[in-house]
Amino acid sequence: MKTPRFLFTLFAVGLIVSPLLADDWPQFRGPNRNGISKETGLLKEWPKDGPPLLWTFAEAGLGYSGPAVVGDRLYMSAGRGDSDFVFALDLKNLENGKPKELWSARIGPLFQWKGNIWNIGPNATPTVDGDLVFGLGGAGDLICVEASSGKELWRKNLPRDLEGEVNPIGGGTEDPTPLGWGYAWAPLVDGDKLICVPGGKQGLLAALDKKTGKVLWQSKEVTDQASYSSPIVAEIGGIRQYIQVTNPGITGVAAKDGKVIWRYLRDPAYDDVVIATPILHDHYVFSSVGFNQGCDLIRLLPDGTQIKVEKILSSRTIQNREGGTVLVGDHLYCYSENQGWVCHEFKTGKLAWAERDKLGRGSVTYADGRLYCCSEKGGLVALVEATPSGWIEKGRFKLPRESTQRRQLGGLWTHPVIANGRLYIRDQEFLHCFNLKP
């Protein structure tokens, strides 16, 4: 068996709202699942010690789930005691300078397995849609609760109800069902449907009725095991579809019935954990995997009722593990294993700049002309101009408290979140909130 080499930040979510432009961020990587905030009017440069700390919530529990913020509510998942939970915080009416927990709902048993030194608890960020909140536990328990009260409306267990499997490459639990390091993708709402990624012999993707949990379809033509990457929605050639990255490659299935529209099979297949969410722009789809795997860029070409796939590049130029990538203008920004922090031309893969020394491996979110880069080690957060001219830093700070409850080989893998003029950084039990307004 292959030696485990994991990192697991899978998922952090951000939300956005600002004095000039109010935009909720109700799911992983924002409204468009691209790590981009439309919020403006934020600090262009940080004071010496970073933006002011507003509060620290120290009862967030365990896991790499990020916050989803809608209005004055924050939703997040956590491992507490022997269970995975989803809970809600009141951001408006603080008590003793900290947000009050309004409710918590049990998702399922605490995700863990013997010998696991990477992660414990849930990794998927909740998805919020109106008065519905969808939470996913590591063992595949998917629940829908009321956002106002936390009352459970329905639940599914993906391994039991949809015969789901997670690709266990590199290690993880396999008894009785392959679960790898646990389910970690974030649920996707599209109209009346909730899109999930059970993986396995009954189909990679599935659509559920978001209000009842009824299975509407399962994409039985493609039986890849689930990866840790989250699905995205696209409209290409007049065909609405969902795009998912797995170890064999990238797949697009029809929103109406789950039928496969196109597939890109990578040669060779990704031979390690697939975490990063794909980037879609102008009919181009970009995916990347760390551990010396590399990246792929394809172009989708509508042809009548079909879509053809053109490979643009497949190389090791970008090796992004769990920190995510953001596309700003024509350039892609992220941390790449072989180069450090990088800026590449999106459609050509041409390197604009690389910076190895300023900040270690980490995750990134974009807002108002700046990159918010969070290192997985040392609790460092940097503000960097999003420009192809080079690494132009506009401030940095160290988190006031770091978790001692991470697994031995765990890191600060939850992505930064920007919402309502605030920056949220989660490190296991600690959720820090900073003021980004001038």
Domains located in the chain, CATH noted? 16-435 (2.130.10.10)
Sign of CA dihedral 376, 434, 62, 277: negative
Q: Indicate whether 18 pLDDT > 50.
A: no
Looking only at the bridges linking them, the beta strands covering 393-398 and 16-17 are: unpaired
Decide if 412 contacts 429 (C-beta within 8 A). no
| pLDDT, the chain, mean | 93
Q: How many CB atoms are closer than 10 A to CB 404?
A: 8
Q: Quick one: which of 184, 182, 155 has its CA closest to 168?
A: 182
Question: Quick one: what percent of the chain has pLDDT higher than 70?
Answer: 95
Instruction: Give the percent of the chain with pLDDT over 90.
Output: 90
Residue 11, pLDDT above cutoff 50 = no
* Identity of the residue numbered 338: N
User: By mean pLDDT, which of 23-37, 95-109, 381-395 is the weakest?
Assistant: 23-37
In 3D space, the residue among 257, 329, 343, 246 whose CA is nearest the CA of residue 293 turns out to be 246
Q: What is the pLDDT of residue 13?
A: 34
pLDDT at residue 317 tops 70: yes
Q: Tell me the average pLDDT across 32-37.
A: 96
Residue 305: what pLDDT?
83
- How high is the pLDDT of residue 174? 81
pLDDT of residue 6: 41
Task: Look at residue 16 in the predicted model and tell me its pLDDT.
Answer: 31
* Residues 296/299/303/306 CA torsion (nearest 10 deg): 40
Instruction: Give the pLDDT score at 24.
Output: 83
116 pLDDT more than 80: yes
Paired with 239 in beta bridges are 236
Under 8 Å between Cβ of 129 and 141: no
Report pLDDT for 7.
40
How far is the C-alpha of 39 from the C-alpha of 99, rounded, in Å? 23
pLDDT of residue 243: 98
For the CA atoms of 144, 148, 150, 152, what is the dihedral angle to 10 degrees? -40
d(CA 84, CA 144): 14
Span of 19-23, 252-256, 368-372 with lowest mean pLDDT: 19-23
What pLDDT is attached to residue 1? 40
